[in-house]
Structures are given as structure tokens and as C-alpha cells.
Amino acid sequence: MNVVIGFAVVITITAMTITAMLLVRRRAPAGSYFSDGDRASGVFGVLATGFSVLLGFIIVICFQSYDESRAGAEVEAAMVVQQVETAQFLPAQTAEDLTGQLVCYARSVIGPQWRALERGNLGESINPWGGEMYRTIKAADPQTPAEQSAYDRWMDQTGQRELARLDRIHAAQGLVPLPLWIALFTVFVIILVYMLFFADPDEGAATQGMLMGSVTLIITALLVLLVFFNNPHAPGVGQLRPTAMERTTRIIDAELKFAGLDLNPPCDSNGIAR
């Protein structure tokens, strides 16, 4: 979630609930609607504690998933660089084809693949250049011990790259199921309505506003944070970006230049096949 939008949501909901509290306060009986304030506070403590524990637990799980996606992106990018190096020990034509396809794979991750992640519609689609590399390596015929060793190493690195890709994209569809969202917002509304019964005309308006506003602000901010972690690839400040793969493309370009290789990748700058 965009930081500005999140901040606006928190402020808007907090202002609305404070306004509701001050309006209810005008008609509330002295001492609030509860005849036994201590008992009412105890019930509210149970509600708030149960909700905060549940919400905190979900945020921790979503943050772990966010971190796994970030780590997966780093590992995937590192594997692409390593596979470029490994490819140079394969037969010449295979090495050239695989190197170009790896460059296109990286460009595709940065371009259309990442935009699909942001929209949440990547689905079960694969990176097309992964399939191209499979066909290329399948047709390879390593002869020397070095080529055969590079072939085995390539297959191991491919498996690691695919697993890292799965870690990167596993949270693209969101982690919190709809029934849990419904439960969270239902309890949130119940807590806010319960707070309105503490309206007391004998208390100052600032005190009543602080009472409602502090509770609303904290809960709303935590829910906004949950939305942030539930959509780690959405555009916005703090969300995951293809930084690791962008760094990888620069490293590959530097390595190829250092090795004196003049590569013409079979794709454009967005990883689309020419």
C-alpha cells in the first residue's frame, strides 16, 4: 500500500470515530452508558487483547513471507549470475545461446514479470526464457570432462534458481484469506462500537476524543501494516522491487565486457523475444 494512501486511511478513520464519539457524547448519560465501568473495562480488555494478539500473530507471519520473497529475489538473481559463468564452460554455441537467454530471463523478471506481480495476475505462468533455456541445454552435447561437469553444475543451479523464483512469487496472490479479513474487520467494528458506550458528557471533549482516537489509530495502523505485508510486490515505498535482478544485469554486462564477449541477446530491453 502506498504510504500516503495508508496515512490518509488512518487519519480519516480516526477522525470519523472521534467525531462519532463526540456526537454520541451529547446524548449519553452521565458516567457513560455503563453502570459498572470496571466490569465494562474488563470486557473491553478481553476484546482488545484477543484482537491485538491475533492481529500481531498474522503480521508476524506476513512479515516472514515478505522476507522470504525478498530473500528469494536475491538468491534467484545470484543464481542467474552463476549460471552465466557456468555456461561459459559448455560447448561454444550452447554457451552463447544460454548466456543470451539468461540476460533475457533477467530482463523479463525486471519488466513484464514484475509488472504482473504488481498487478497480482502472474498466476501459474512461467518465465518464457526458462523454457528456452531448457530446450537449449537439452540439445547440448558435452564432450570434455569440463563440459560434462559444467552441464551437471548447470542443472543444479537451475533447480536452485527455480526454487528461489517460487519463494519470490509465492506471496503474489496475498497471504491473508478472505474469511480472516472478514473476521478482523468484524472485530474491529465491534471494538469501535463498544468504545462508543464509554461516551460520557462529564468528561471533556478532548479526553473523549483521545480515548476513541488512540484506540482507532493503533488498530487502523496495524491493519494498514497488514495490508502492506500482504501485498509485498505492490508499487509503493518499502515494497519489493527487482533491485537484485537489476544489479545482476549490470554484473553480467561487466563480466561479459571483461571477458571480451560481444553478446546479442535474442530479446529487447524488456525481455520480449525479438
**Residue 206 lies inside a defined structural domain of this protein:** yes
Helix 92-108 vs helix 37-87: angle between axes, to the nearest 10 degrees? 160
- The type of residue at 233 is H
**Cα–Cα distance for residue pair 65/253, rounded to 1 Å:** 32
pLDDT of residue 249: 92
Whether the CB-CB separation of 66 and 231 falls below 8 Å is answered with no
pLDDT of residue 39: 80
Whether the CB-CB separation of 253 and 18 falls below 8 Å is answered with no
**Cα–Cα distance for residue pair 102/80, rounded to 1 Å:** 7
Residue 236 gets the label, from left (phi > 0), alpha (psi -120 to 50) or beta, of left
- The type of residue at 14 is T
Whether the CB-CB separation of 18 and 201 falls below 8 Å is answered with no
Sign of CA dihedral 254, 256, 258, 261: negative
Whether the CB-CB separation of 10 and 185 falls below 8 Å is answered with no
Whether the CB-CB separation of 271 and 105 falls below 8 Å is answered with yes
Poorest-pLDDT segment among 1-5, 83-87, 133-137: 1-5
Sign of CA dihedral 8, 9, 14, 16: positive
**Residue 265 lies inside a defined structural domain of this protein:** no
Q: For residue 227, what is its C-alpha cell?
A: 495490508
**Residue 48 lies inside a defined structural domain of this protein:** yes
Task: Grade residue 32 by pLDDT with cuts at 50, 70 and 90.
Answer: confident
pLDDT of residue 170: 81
Asked if residue 159 has pLDDT above 70, the reply is yes
Q: For residue 252, what is its C-alpha cell?
A: 553480467
163-208 pLDDT per residue, tens: 999 888 887 777 788 888 898 999 999 999 988 888 888 888 898 8
**Residue 268 lies inside a defined structural domain of this protein:** no
3-state percent helix, strand, coil for the chain, nearest multiple of 5:
75, 0, 25
**Residue 41 lies inside a defined structural domain of this protein:** yes
Task: Grade residue 52 by pLDDT with cuts at 50, 70 and 90.
Answer: confident
**Residue 139 lies inside a defined structural domain of this protein:** yes
End-to-end CA distance of the chain: 35
**Cα–Cα distance for residue pair 99/271, rounded to 1 Å:** 13
111-156 pLDDT per residue, tens: 988 888 887 777 667 788 998 999 999 988 888 999 999 999 999 9
Q: How many domains does the chain have?
A: 1
The residue segments making up the domain with residue 7 are 3-259
Q: Is 87 exposed, middle or buried (0-12, 13-18, 19+ CB in 10 A)?
A: buried
**Residue written as grid cell 498487478:** 119
**Residue 270 lies inside a defined structural domain of this protein:** no
**Residue 165 lies inside a defined structural domain of this protein:** yes
**Cα–Cα distance for residue pair 252/46, rounded to 1 Å:** 57
213-272 pLDDT per residue, tens: 999 999 999 998 888 888 888 777 778 889 999 999 999 989 888 878 888 889 988 888
**Cα–Cα distance for residue pair 21/5, rounded to 1 Å:** 24
**Cα–Cα distance for residue pair 130/138, rounded to 1 Å:** 12
**Residue written as grid cell 487483547:** 49
Asked if residue 1 has pLDDT above 60, the reply is no
pLDDT of residue 152: 93
Overall size of the chain counted in residues: 274
